[in-house]
Amino acid sequence: MTAIDKSHGTRHSVASQPPRRRASATEPSATTPTTLAPKPQTMTTATEPADLLRQMMRIRRFEEKCAELYSDTKIRGFLHLCIGEEATAVGVMSALAPSDAVISTYREHGHALARGLSMDSIMAEMFGKVTGCSRGRGGSMHLFDAERRFYGGNGIVAGGLPVALGLALADRMNARPNVTACLFGDGAMAEGEFHESANLAALWKLPVLFCCENNGYAMGTALARTHAETDLAARAASYGMVSWAVDGMDVEAVAEATRRAVAQIRGGGGPCFLELRTYRFRAHSMYDPDRYRDKSEIEQWKRADPIPALSGPLLSSGTLTEADLRRWSAEIDAEIEAAITAADQGELEPVADLTRFVTSEANPTGGPW
Amino acid sequence: MVTKTAAQSATPTTTPTADGARQTTYREALREAHRDALKRDPRVFLMGEDVGRYGGSFAVSLGLLEEFGPERIRDAPLSESAFTGAGIGAALGGMRPIVEIMTVNFSLLALDQILNNAATLLHMSGGQLAVPLVVRMTTGAGRQLAAQHSHSLEGWYAHIPGLRVLAPATIEDARGMLWPALEDPDPVLIFEHGSLYNLAGTLPDGAAEVDISRAAIRRVGSDVTVIAYSGGLGKALAAADLLAAEGIQAEVIDLRVLRPLDDDTILGSVRRTHQVVIVDEGWRSGGLSAEIAARIAEQAFYDLDAPIERVCGAEVPIPYAKHMEEAALPQPADIVAAARRAVAPNG
């Protein structure tokens, strides 16, 4: 159920517990998210904070290496990095069950890694090898893993949302208690497909979790330059679904919000919407000269970097030591190096296979053609 | 089972004949195909605008809501992209959805889903994600519905690898194409010509499934091959009658399957008759007729005794006024004239 949040002035659901702002001496200002995270004071997490931290470190380091490999021309095409946004990927995925479905965008390395796709299969995909998770047919933007119900990086902004509805509908028609999470950016909320999908999901009370990673920019265009109403959670709430704005730089807040939303959806409450307010530290893609935003803005957001934001308290409290972090870094680097070696050694798909998978190979009606 | 609502339909009821064949209509044959599929497979459901309470904008699904309930006969909002994409997702999730889009002109609002997802996911995922989706829509002119409800854009869809494109022109195909389309593991588009829904005729007993990979020769002839499909088939057969009166024996091919094209049937006929006329209600430029002509020229050039003739829709948005609409569409007289040119000595 949505609630009228009079203080907010919009029809907007917020958590029953007061939001806890992450303690930070360098709280960024105007462009920084208003934290409305539904984060209780006494939280029981399914995933330990240390695990969340390690996953974020793994995604960060993997993507930093991808940027290098792009410069080395090992990776080609478009490469969209989520550096700075790791908390949304890790937080959302930590709250989903293996039987839940995920559909993502072209900025999906983090989602895929957090969902459990192997680093080897992702790296090989970006190297264009047949050992890649999409046999080298998708590349960075189109990572797929049917076994993990990871229905792809979709390169069409908002193009995955209608598909998410159908996955959810199929689950419900078969009485399977699954949730379909669809991730998309703020740019998708200018697309008709978002609004069609939000309406239909709410109308049919489909088990869909809409996760809007609001990083403030649709490629190079700032939110306020393309949206008449920039409170995205409020707009989603107007469709009659529960909608929360969450500090997307706080992985625990994202995880907790997702857990609550998923519980509500699984309970038959219909779709939920999470606006995860985040920021990408790197350019939109490797082609992007990043001329549209001030360096100072980037620096300001880097002070809210989700990795030190979590490692700091864990070190202070003694949960982790510097040695733990060094060990993790070494393990991650070794995993990355192994993935690169495997990708380098992976076979290229024979050109003779070019027209395979245009249609199904076991086609009783005469294909493929 | 005929429900109360179905019984109230203005369309004629199905009447059995002595040999087990039945008098019925194209519309009723489609409805029977849906009813049969819904009964045979619990994964099948129908989704689209006005398919339920209204009974289908062309009354194809009249009575199905009462018979199968709102979970399986789903009225969708006017959100072509969302409900077509939902069909794709449901197919990925193990269902066998039938998505009805009111007309092909409206399907452009769902083109992103049809092209970028339905036709693409299997290949882009390296063979992991097949999309067993059926999308039905109305196509074609002839009902004075003007330029946003009348176009024949099936040729566009036939351009897209990954799709199977069907165009039932007969009652038997209206009855028999849906089930094999649902059995296809990949997306199938079925184009129903708006002027055919009231077509009345005989359905043989037990007709429930047809081959959805081959064209059909609807009339055998030795002098000229006339290739047509959908709403064009009746006109081609009418032209063949007129030509026969002049002593010209036309062989009439019903394409039935617009992708993949059945080259064997087309080329086999052309090699026998050595003359060919292609009838396509769609626009000539870059259209289906151009593709067929190119294949004949590539593969049977030396079998031709005359240039390939095409009778296509005029290159205009379809106008409203009856005389103008008729002028914009292939007519039997145009097909007769083209066939005469083709068979004339020395071209």
Give me the CATH number covering residue A298: 3.40.50.970
| B77 in any annotated domain | yes
Lowest-confidence region among A174-178, A222-226, A364-368, B218-222: A364-368
Residue among B45, B116, B127 whose CB faces A356 most closely? B127
Chain-chain contact of A196 with B82 (C-beta, under 8 angstroms):
yes
Do residues B179 and B73 share a domain? yes
What's the pLDDT at B204? 86
Residue among B81, B125, B184 whose CB faces A144 most closely? B125
Chain-chain contact of B126 with A159 (C-beta, under 8 angstroms):
no
| B209 in any annotated domain | no
Query: What's the 3-state SS for A125-178?
Result: HHCCCCCCCCCCCCCCCCCCEHHHCEEEEECCCCCCHHHHHHHHHHHHHCCCCC
Mean pLDDT of B115-144: 96
Q: Which residues of A touch B161 (CB under 8 A)?
A: 358
Distance from CA of A129 to the nearest CA of B (A): 11
Best residue of A194, A357, A369 to probe chain B, by most B CBs closer than 10 Å: A357
Tell me how far apart the alpha carbons of residues B192 and B173 are, in angstroms, rounded to a whole number: 10
Distance from CA of B75 to the nearest CA of A (A): 10
Q: Which residues of A touch B69 (CB under 8 A)?
A: none
Tell me how far apart the alpha carbons of residues B230 and B191 are, in angstroms, rounded to a whole number: 8
Task: Give the number of C-alpha atoms closer than 13 A to the C-alpha of residue B49, restricted to the C-beta side.
Answer: 17
| A353 in any annotated domain | no
Distance from CA of B343 to the nearest CA of A (A): 34
CA distances from A172 to A179, A204, B74 (A): 9, 10, 14
Chain-chain contact of B90 with A152 (C-beta, under 8 angstroms):
no
Do residues B157 and B245 share a domain? no
Tens of pLDDT along A181-209?
999 999 999 999 999 999 999 999 999 99
| B6 in any annotated domain | no
At which residue do the structure tokens 């937080």 appear? Answer: A91
Q: Counting one residue from A and one from B, how many pairs have CB atoms under 8 Å apart? A: 170
Q: Which residues of A touch B91 (CB under 8 A)?
A: 166, 170
Chain-chain contact of B86 with A363 (C-beta, under 8 angstroms):
no
pTM over 0.80: yes
Do residues B124 and B271 share a domain? no
Q: Of B182, B203, B224, which residue is a domain's last? A: B203
Query: How many Cβ atoms sit within 10 Å of the Cβ of residue A324?
Result: 16
Residue among B84, B128, B213 whose CB faces A365 most closely? B213
| A182 in any annotated domain | yes
| A364 in any annotated domain | no
At which residue do the structure tokens 């189109």 appear? Answer: A142
- Residue B149 appears among annotated catalytic residues: yes
Do residues B145 and B114 share a domain? yes
Residues 6+ apart with CB under 8 A from B331: B235
Task: Specify the DSSP element, H or E, that contains B311.
Answer: strand B309-313
Q: Of B178, B203, B228, which residue is a domain's last? A: B203
| B1 in any annotated domain | no
Q: Which residues of A touch B121 (CB under 8 A)?
A: 152
As a dihedral over the C-alpha atoms of residue A147, residue A152, residue A158, residue A159, rounded to 10 degrees, the angle is: -90
Question: Structural domain tally of chain B?
Answer: 2
Chain-chain contact of B92 with A196 (C-beta, under 8 angstroms):
no
Q: Of B203, B229, B254, which residue is a domain's last? A: B203
| A116 in any annotated domain | yes
Residue among A165, A359, A364 whose CB faces B85 most closely? A165
What's the pLDDT at B17? 61
| A287 in any annotated domain | yes
Backbone angles phi and psi of A198, in degrees to 5: -60, -45
Average pLDDT, chain A: 88
Tens of pLDDT along B176-215?
999 999 999 999 999 999 999 999 999 988 778 999 999 9
Tens of pLDDT along B154-172?
999 999 999 999 999 999 9
Q: Which residues of B touch A134 (CB under 8 A)?
A: 124-126, 128
Specify the amino acid at residue B221.
Answer: G
Residue A319 has pLDDT above 70, yes or no: yes
Residue A107 has pLDDT above 50, yes or no: yes
Do residues B221 and B108 share a domain? no
Residue of B47, B1, B16, B30 whose CA lies nearest to B181: B30
| A174 in any annotated domain | yes
| B239 in any annotated domain | yes
| A202 in any annotated domain | yes
Best residue of A135, A144, A173 to probe chain B, by most B CBs closer than 10 Å: A173
Q: Tell me the CATH number at B289.
A: 3.40.50.920
Tens of pLDDT along A322-345?
999 999 999 999 999 999 999 999
| B39 in any annotated domain | yes
Vertex B259: Cα angle to B253 and B264 (nearest 5):
50
Do residues B177 and B257 share a domain? no
Question: Structural domain tally of chain A?
Answer: 1
Chain A, nearest residue to B74 by Cα: A204
Distance from CA of A230 to the nearest CA of B (A): 23
Tens of pLDDT along A90-104?
999 999 999 999 999
Q: Tell me the CATH number at B97.
A: 3.40.50.970
Tens of pLDDT along A54-70?
999 999 999 999 999 99
Tokens of A152: 């792809």
Tell me how far apart the alpha carbons of residues A28 and A32 are, in angstroms, rounded to a whole number: 5
Domain that holds residue A189: 8-16+28-38+46-344
Residues 6+ apart with CB under 8 A from B37: B44, B96, B98, B178, B179, B182
**A272-277, strands of its sheet edge to edge:** A150-154, A101-105, A180-185, A208-214, A272-277, A242-247
Tens of pLDDT along B74-115?
999 999 999 999 999 999 999 999 999 999 999 999 999 999
Do residues B109 and B249 share a domain? no
- pLDDT cut 70: percent of chain B above it: 94
Do residues B99 and B16 share a domain? yes
Residue A16 has pLDDT above 50, yes or no: no
Q: Of the listed B149, B192, B251, B281, which one is catalytic?
A: B149
| A362 in any annotated domain | no
* Cβ contact B282:B231 at 8 Å: no
Domain that holds residue B300: 216-343
Tell me how far apart the alpha carbons of residues B305 and B289 are, in angstroms, rounded to a whole number: 19
Helix (H, G, I), strand (E, B) or coil at B173: helix
Label residues A268-292 b or e (16+ Cβ within 10 Å = b).
Answer: eebbbbbbbbbbbbbbbbbeeeeee
